[in-house]
Amino acid sequence: MSAMELIRQRRSVRTFDGKPLNVEDREKLLAYAEHIENPYGLPITWRILSAKEHGLSSPVISGTDTFIAGKLRRAPHGEEAFGFAFERFVLYAQSLSIGTTWIAGTMSRPAFEKAMELEGDEVMPCVSPLGYPAAKPSLRESLMRKGVKADSRMDFSALFFDGGFDRPLTQEAAGNLRHPLEMVRWAPSAVNKQPWRVVLSGSSAHFYEKRSKGYVDASGWDLQKVDVGIAVCHFVCGLEEQGLAWRLTTSDPGIAVPDGTEYVATIDLEQLSE
């Protein structure tokens, strides 16, 4: 199955069928997580946790006892690194027909942080339940999805731009990058805010954060930068499927930005041809 098929097939799962993960799937998931690399080179520690053993809970999850969590030391670009790596894991889980959903707030965070043995300079940005999806979502889950319009996304030309923010990008002008950008468009984000914006310029794709209020905590940790990391992951997955080489840089190109918009990263492309 292609990455695009996994992306379009996947949905956030909050209602599971009650069956525990089988040993083979559990081992595959943990082995995959432990070998995920991110383009910032920041190490992430992963653990699969039992809710019963550690006293974990989330009011929006039912039918599974199993969660995965990751932690890393606070560092520049930590949010993007975590978003990139965790989404790699989420897509791999989908390839095994294992349900996931990103959880940052609706959980017993102190219990999760204790189970992860969080140290003073570490952060545990998000967790996810793991399990086999129930045949039908609960009414609560259906209402949550409806509330955030989980099955819809902003238009292509509202998210992507040609050379600058004053020129919306058309799908035709995107050329070989139309497919990777469409994969970005379908990336998940907190409350479906879709805070990423991308400006194509020559052989570079510049990623920006379009900020919303309420997503930066007292320590300066920015949850929407995690979302941008997810978007970068999707873009890279699209490039890799097309056999395109890439590298990530963080040198601001100096493009004029709208209010509330901040440069995050650039993906430089190689072997790009029609």
Q: Is a pLDDT exceeding 70 seen at residue 271?
A: no
Please give the CATH topology (third level) of the domain spanning 3-137: NADH Oxidase (3.40.109)
Domain 156-270 in the same topology as domain 3-137: yes
Q: Where are the alpha helices (DSSP H) in 64-213?
A: 78-95, 109-115, 139-147, 156-159, 171-174, 178-185
Spans of all domains in the chain: 3-137, 156-270
pLDDT digits (tens, 9 = 90+) for 103-136: 998 999 999 999 999 998 999 999 999 999 999 8
Question: Tens of pLDDT along 134-174?
Answer: 998 777 778 777 777 767 899 999 999 999 999 999 999 99
Query: What are 22-42's pLDDT values in tens digits?
Result: 999 999 999 999 999 999 999
Question: Residue 150 has what pLDDT?
Answer: 65
Mean pLDDT (whole number) for 74-86 = 97
Q: Is the pLDDT of residue 274 over 50?
A: no
At residue 273 the predicted structure's pLDDT band, cuts being 50, 70 and 90, is very low
pTM of the model: 0.94
CATH topology of domain 156-270: NADH Oxidase (3.40.109)
Enumerate residues 6+ apart whose C-beta is below 8 A from 177: 200, 205, 238, 269, 272
